[in-house]
Amino acid sequence: MATFELRGLIKAYGKTRVIHGIDLLIADGEFVVFVGPSGCGKSTTLRMIAGLEEVTGGEIRIGDRVVNEVDPKERNLAMVFQNYAIYPHMSVRQNIAFGLYTSPLSKADKARKVDEAGALLGLTPLLDRRPAALSGGQRQRVAIGRAMVRDPVGFLFDEPLSNLDAQLRAQMRIEIKDLHRRLGTTIAYVTHDQVEAMTMADRIVVMKDGHILQAAPPMEIYDNP
């Protein structure tokens, strides 16, 4: 588990600045949801935490380590993004195990971790199925399982539910919140859906034009809009 800290974080594409020096401390075990209009910089911020975008200025810390120059794989974060890539020719079990593909763990330890993740995500009866025989929500859980087995220090979610229908979204909101409660892991979550923010966040970060407008618990944000 770890804190995520942004210090004077800046991002420019060419000469255009899109993130204007933001400061934010996400506490160990905190669930923070980024909201704001399309183009305000939510996804770019998350991608910089992930290491998928270079930082133009300022610092990103994970725990007590500055990670600006650290390779994404070395950051030990789980990323669950909208276009979850699960492999159609592999079973659920194999898809989850793929997260441990290059892990030095023994075969038995890997199998145990996959079973544990499957159980935690309610996938046990589905472990031998192919993704084609799963619902959208179940597939999303496979993607979460694959990230989870790596024992990440935190999770990054970028609009993970936008491809799901309303009923599945409602169910997955509860499941992700529940997962957070059980794992106690730090989560940074991007969405444009206010209901997701309200129901899941410990704290909502409202962004606009590359700035943070507000960072507060849901009740405070929506009582004083």
Residues in contact with ligand ADP by CB under 6 A are 13, 18, 36, 38-44, 73, 77-79, 98-99, 101-102, 146-147
179 neighbors 31 (Cβ within 8 angstroms): no
Q: Which residue is nearest to ligand ADP (CB)?
A: 43
- Grouping H, G, I as helix, E, B as strand and the rest as coil, residue 5 is strand
Comparison of 99 and 160: residue with beta carbon closer to ligand ADP: 99
For residue 115, the minimal CB distance to ligand ADP (Å) is 18
**3-state DSSP of 198-214:** HHHCCEEEEEECCEEEE
Comparison of 60 and 147: residue with beta carbon closer to ligand ADP: 147
For residue 167, the minimal CB distance to ligand ADP (Å) is 25
For residue 69, the minimal CB distance to ligand ADP (Å) is 17
For residue 85, the minimal CB distance to ligand ADP (Å) is 7
Cα–Cα distance for residue pair 64/27, rounded to 1 Å: 12
Comparison of 22 and 127: residue with beta carbon closer to ligand ADP: 22
Comparison of 89 and 167: residue with beta carbon closer to ligand ADP: 89
| Angle, CA of 207, 185 and 9, to the nearest 5° | 35
25 neighbors 5 (Cβ within 8 angstroms): yes
For residue 189, the minimal CB distance to ligand ADP (Å) is 12
Cα–Cα distance for residue pair 163/169, rounded to 1 Å: 9
Cα–Cα distance for residue pair 78/223, rounded to 1 Å: 33
| Angle, CA of 175, 179 and 180, to the nearest 5° | 120
For residue 144, the minimal CB distance to ligand ADP (Å) is 9
Question: Side chain identity at 154, as an amino acid letter?
Answer: G
Comparison of 200 and 206: residue with beta carbon closer to ligand ADP: 206
Cα–Cα distance for residue pair 34/208, rounded to 1 Å: 10
Structure-token pair, residue 149? 């087995």
Comparison of 22 and 167: residue with beta carbon closer to ligand ADP: 22
